[in-house]
Amino acid sequence: MFFDRPADRLRFLNNTLNKQKERQEQLRLSLRRFKFLEHTRFYDWILEGRFYSTILEELTSLAEQLPANRQVSLQRVEIPLSARVFFFLHQSRHALYFVGVVLAGVLLFSLYSAANWSAKGVNSYLARKYNIGRPAIIVTPAGQDTSKPYAAVSKYLPGYQPEKVWMVEQEEGFERYSNGCRILTKYETDNYPRSYYTIPREADTVGEQVRHDIVGIVYHTSESDIVPFIPKNNDEIQKKSQGLLEYIRNKKSYNYMIDRYGEIYRVVRDDHTAFHAGNSIWADKKYTYIVLNDSFLGICFESTVNAGTLEETLTEAQISAGYVLTNVLRTKYNIEDANCTTHGLVSVNPDKMLIAFHHDWVRNFPFEAMGLSDKYKVPSPNITDYGFTYDEEILAKLGNKLWEGAIVAEEEFKKRAEAKRTTPELLRRRLRDRYLAQREKARGLRPQQNDAGTPSLAAQSPAESSSAESGNN
């Protein structure tokens, strides 16, 4: 039908038979482990299909040399569907190989991703259940680096001597004291009078009698942007300090602010509450104090919370100013050493029962240079008395470093739960309810908003303006 010349017919016949013999041998080798298939209809079907496929290959290659009318006749040849499938697969084998490789890669990647996801899920579950996989906690040496010059100088400062501290003069715009402390008052403003309940330590009460006196000091950093402390930045340093003072006065954020040159400013008057501590807990031997805005003075050092060392955080002038201001306030209000602490040590998140919600001064505060004992070694009252704890997120913010008192307090709380024959989790839940009840009762002492717009809920300090109720209030 296609070949007029005997030579073309012979060539077609030889090529077809040779290819068929070669492919039959390939099929036999491929199925050598399954020789029983050679006696089945499946083997005959494959062999027949490959044979017809070989014929199609030869006809197609030779048909290109034929006239157009004969090429059309090729389409009318009755060839089984299996043969056409084999022919198509053979012609497209390179493309199919590529698609197969791609699909195999996708499949392997999918299997790897699924296995990896499953492993992470299992690891997370085990970590939550058995408290494993948490990064190692580094217990930092408390206080300051004793190798620094200001640390050595602090050893020669006189101890706290209240009998040698008194006001020398008081003029419009400033107060001067016998220990060299000079307090500028031009930014001084009112808020509302202090008022809080006494809570005997570890007592099952939400509050007893009302007090108005000052019992402690909380030290802060402003957590603001600062520029390098060098002479050419004088104008920028002063501009930033003035802007910060105006912000603090508007927000009534702290009682005192110490700028980078060591100038001390009273902002919110001492007998009025400043919004500096929010959700917070501290305790001395006798009482527990919550929401320290009402019972503690807030002293803010103009600085950033992100500095790595004390030398980067405070200037020499700020350390000296902090020392003399601390002695003035302790003398004036008979404040005990035990109640002079830092924001990072008192701040809590009651919704999640976590410590260090704000972490300014969780390390590096120079207690010794302030004439105070090291509070980093004191078991944290928010952990021992209320069961507050920490999670991986808090640890990450702190660089996986905890102060010594937090570790000791955690062990003390576990022992407390054992003594009460309960679990730390159940005890923590009960104490959280107590804290929330105490906080709610304390808020009842706040004045309502007046016509001048005085807030009845605590506003935010510069670092806390985004945290609202979970932060300062």
Residue 28's pLDDT band, with cuts at 50, 70 and 90, is confident
Per-residue pLDDT of 83-93, as tens digits, reads 667 667 666 76
Answer yes or no: is pLDDT of 192 > 80: yes
CA angle 443, 449, 450 (to 5 degrees): 145
CB 62 within 8 A of CB 31: no
In this structure, the dihedral spanned by the alpha carbons of residues 95, 96, 99 and 105, taken in order and rounded to 10 degrees, is -130
Q: pLDDT exceeding 90 applies to what percent of the chain?
A: 52
Task: Please name each of the domains of the chain with its CATH number.
Answer: 6-91 (no CATH), 138-471 (3.40.80.10)
Q: Is the pTM of this model over 0.85?
A: no
Q: What's the confidence (pLDDT) of residue 305?
A: 79
Long-range Cβ pairs for the range 227-234 (8 Å, 24+): 229/260, 229/315
Q: What's the confidence (pLDDT) of residue 457?
A: 34
| Bigger pLDDT: 236 vs 73 | 236
| Bigger pLDDT: 118 vs 98 | 98
- For the record, the structure tokens of 81 come out as 């569907």
Answer yes or no: is pLDDT of 80 > 60: yes
Per-residue pLDDT of 408-427, as tens digits, reads 999 999 999 999 999 999 99
Smallest CA-to-CA distance from 181 within 300, 263, 260 is with 263
CA dist 437 and 317 (Å) reads 42
pLDDT averaged over the chain? 82
Mean pLDDT computed over 72-83: 64
| Bigger pLDDT: 102 vs 231 | 231
Per-residue pLDDT of 323-347, as tens digits, reads 999 999 999 999 999 999 999 999 9
Residue 382's pLDDT band, with cuts at 50, 70 and 90, is very high
